[in-house]
Amino acid sequence: MGTITAKDGTRINYNDWGSGQPVVFSHGWPLSAEAFEDQMFFLASRGFRCIAHDRRGHGRSDQSWEGNDLDTYADDLATLVETLDLKQAVHVGHSTGGGEVARYIGRHGTRRVAKAVLIGAITPLMVKTTANPIGTPIEVFDQLRVAVQADRSQFWNDLSLPFYGYNRPDAKISEGVREAFWRQGMMAGFPASYFCIKAFSETDLTEDLAKFDIPTLILHGDDDQIVPIAASAMLSSKLVKGAVLKVYAGAPHGMCTTLKDRVNAELFAFLTA
């Protein structure tokens, strides 16, 4: 893995595979760059340079106490892009990573960006407010915080079931996938595990989405139990000018793993269009 140093001295680790047009992946909470390994290997084998970092506090990056917010995540991403001098990059963000991509574009523009892909993204705003009545009640996120503090090891194990739709009737469960989710979750530091909940649930990305001026693909499962589609992709697709929305019937939040062949083909088609 490579390492960059953020403005506050936090060390961010990243994978860098292949050569060609850069595709930069931003993972979800509480995972790491490994969450995109299927997409990275597929695209790197087909002429793309695939880069994925472990967000600060996650994976093998430093477990900083400060900076577990989307502004800092976006600035860390900008530091990665600038340090590697990436141009005409395609940014792919899943879940919280989708919010990271949106805030990155909102804060740093699209001078180095060619296209964007939001998969199961938290955009534009997860929490229920007066202006966002179809959002998720704050009490749900409070319960997540309680669970992280009480026994986060068991919490990650439990969360893997709805994350991949393994709690649905007739679901084909991979215990290996569940163990990989748990392992990545336990690699995330306690501060990031806790503070990131506020970041992904309460950050309003509406204005960031309005600044997208590049081709954008939005992928979302209509059985996403983590980021419900009605308050996310259905709204984001209207806020991003010219966005293409593709809804995966019956797909869970973790569809980059459970439906990796379909997602890989979708990405390749979008990248080469």
Contact 260, 39 (CB under 8 A): yes
Q: Which residues form the catalytic set?
A: 95, 224, 253
- C-beta atoms surrounding 4 within 10 Å: 18
Residue 207 CA neighbour count, 13 Å, CB half: 4
